[in-house]
Amino acid sequence: MHLLQGKRALVCGSTQGIGRAIALHFADLGADVVLLARDPTALEVVADQLSTEIGQQHAFIVADYSYPDALKQTLGEALRDFQPLDILVNNTGGPPGGLIKDADADAFLEAFSKHLICNQILAQSLIPGMKQAGFGRIINIISTSVRQPIPGLGVSNTVRGAVASWAKTLAGEVALFGITVNNILPGATKTARLASIIDSNAEKFNKSAEQAAEDMQQTIPMRRFAEPVEIAQAAGFLASDWAAYITGVSLPVDGGRLSCI
């Protein structure tokens, strides 16, 4: 079923993990996909993997979230070729782990810039076209820490909450124009970041990576990690016409791990 036939989606952080899974899934659903990441070689690889049925056209933008001003300039130039864009998926790798009491102030500034300032730049760039079309979907890939802080991820917990509040505020401002703004809160998902967290826990608690992974899975009612495509499927729904009356929500996709309602 081509839920996104005729739509154009900008998917950020789309060379690996959840972002890559969303890009591939959106293409399967019929969307034209514009990839955005900092590695041109990796972007070319993913672009070649996107399904291309008759009429579909994909592209990519090379940009680095470490340089917001350059991102803004690059995006402005690229959008002259890629407009209109109907769907924006804000997604980037999480800040390094560590206790909040030990975090340097610069770590907060860097994370805030990458996660919130860059989201703002991207949204501001695309919203005018969405308003003109009377349709828009902004989907932010955040974290379950929005609902329940994750121990050992102090900076991430702080900034993810700020992004969720930004999204909720924006949702109220643009709803009148047919634009929805929603967050997906992935639980533990099979990505390079999860592998890094598992390795860190294994070293910290002097156990094997296999045992550290098993211990993490025991905290999840489904007793397994998510596949990236399972996050992508939630994004596909929120991007579609089926979710036209859903906005301002934070949707956990976590196998039931959150203990709050």
pLDDT values of the chain reduced to their tens digit, one per residue, 261 residues: 689 999 999 999 999 999 999 999 999 999 999 999 999 999 999 999 998 887 799 999 999 999 999 999 999 888 888 778 999 999 998 888 889 999 999 999 999 999 999 999 999 999 999 999 999 999 999 999 999 999 889 999 999 999 999 999 999 999 999 999 999 999 999 998 889 889 888 888 899 999 999 999 999 999 999 999 999 999 999 999 999 999 999 999 999 999 988
**Cβ-based neighbours of 66, under 8 Å, separated by 6 or more:** 38, 110, 113, 114
- Whether the CB-CB separation of 141 and 244 falls below 8 Å is answered with no
Domains of the chain, by residue range, sit at 8-189+227-252, 191-225
**DSSP states along 73-87:** HHHHHHHHHH----E
What pLDDT, on the 0 to 100 scale, is given for residue 259? 92
Cα 243 to Cα 137: distance, rounded to the nearest angstrom: 9
**Cβ-based neighbours of 113, under 8 Å, separated by 6 or more:** 65, 66, 68
What are the structure tokens assigned to 28, written together? 């399967």
- Whether the CB-CB separation of 40 and 119 falls below 8 Å is answered with no
DSSP 186: E
What are the structure tokens assigned to 159, written together? 């900034």
User: Count of CB atoms within 10 A of residue 112's CB?
Assistant: 17
| Predicted structure pTM score | 0.95
Q: Which CATH number fits domain 8-189+227-252: 3.40.640.10, 3.40.50.920, 3.40.50.720, 3.40.462.20?
A: 3.40.50.720
**Cβ-based neighbours of 190, under 8 Å, separated by 6 or more:** 225, 226, 227, 228
